[in-house]
Amino acid sequence: MFDRRQLLVGFGAMTAASMMPNALEAAGKVTADRNSVLLVVDVQNCFLPGGSLAVKDGDKVVPVINAIAKKFTHVVLTQDWHTPGHISFASSHGGKKPFDTTDVAYGKQVLWPDHCVMGTEGAALSKDLAIPHAQLVLRKGYEKAVDSYSAFTEADGKTTTGLAGYLKARKLQRIFIAGLATDFCVAWSALDARKAGFETYVIEDACRGIDTQGSLAKAWSDMTKAGVKRIKSGDLAA
């Protein structure tokens, strides 16, 4: 016969387990369930070795992303998609050079080499990405007079891309972010995801940063303060 004390202890353990998101997460793993989406940010030729704004070791995120994407039912890709003469290009500002800053209508703008000009090979997604089940490719930064690092909100802080509405309409609640670059488009997307109410993870080894003037450390600090969770690809379970 069951001992009454043992039975009560057993019920207590079952109750505690039921309160956890899932058993795997209790063991230090995070599950990519059907309410989760992988957001792959700007894995484009301009940001890869040989590109006009190459991120160091940017190509090394591709096999990691391809592997983790298999664990997700839902995947969204983003593309920087700039006009010629875009406001974020140093070449659009007389006397300025790449990585300088300038004041624009919506605040401080870092100036970059010309990159990801719409319709060019540099703007194309890496040919080595292998995510055939991706359901949406979202283009951002196509307004000539405003930049858009974030996949959710343009740099003016008020114009949305519609991504939050898309994800909420599909009842996707947890966002896992990978891509380029950690300290700019990845971080801004993660911060805006939190503002929109999503549980947000950044997969560290599936990202690479530019790290100009301490930008990488600041990005991680800002994300941590906002409640973004920092994980590695090995922490993911299907």
Please tell me the predicted confidence (pLDDT) of residue 48: 98
Instruction: Determine whether 136 is exposed, middle or buried from the number of CB atoms within 10 Å of its CB (0-12, 13-18, 19+).
Output: middle
**Set 114, 185, 192, 207: catalytic member:** 185
Of 182, 151, 148, the residue nearest 58 (C-alpha): 182
Within 13 Å of residue 35, how many CA atoms lie on the same side as its CB? Answer: 10
Q: Establish whether 140 is a catalytic residue.
A: yes
Q: What is the DSSP string of 54-114?
A: PPTTGGGHHHHHHHHHTT-SEEEEEEE-BPTT-TTBGGGSTT--TT-EEEETTEEEE-B-S
Do residues 179 and 60 lie in contact, with contact meaning Cβ atoms separated by under 8 Å?
A: no
**Set 42, 59, 80, 183: catalytic member:** 42
pTM of the model: 0.88
**Set 140, 183, 192, 207: catalytic member:** 140
Of 200, 205, 123, 132, the residue nearest 163 (C-alpha): 200
Please tell me the predicted confidence (pLDDT) of residue 7: 33
Size of the chain in residues: 238
Please tell me the predicted confidence (pLDDT) of residue 23: 37
The ranges of the chain with pLDDT < 70 are: 1-27
Please tell me the predicted confidence (pLDDT) of residue 3: 46
Please tell me the predicted confidence (pLDDT) of residue 4: 39
Please tell me the predicted confidence (pLDDT) of residue 21: 41
**In the block, which residue shows the tokens 């560290």?**
204
Digit-coded pLDDT (tens) for 34-52: 999 999 999 999 999 999 9
Q: What percent of the chain has pLDDT over 90?
A: 87
Do residues 8 and 212 lie in contact, with contact meaning Cβ atoms separated by under 8 Å?
A: no
Please tell me the predicted confidence (pLDDT) of residue 26: 40
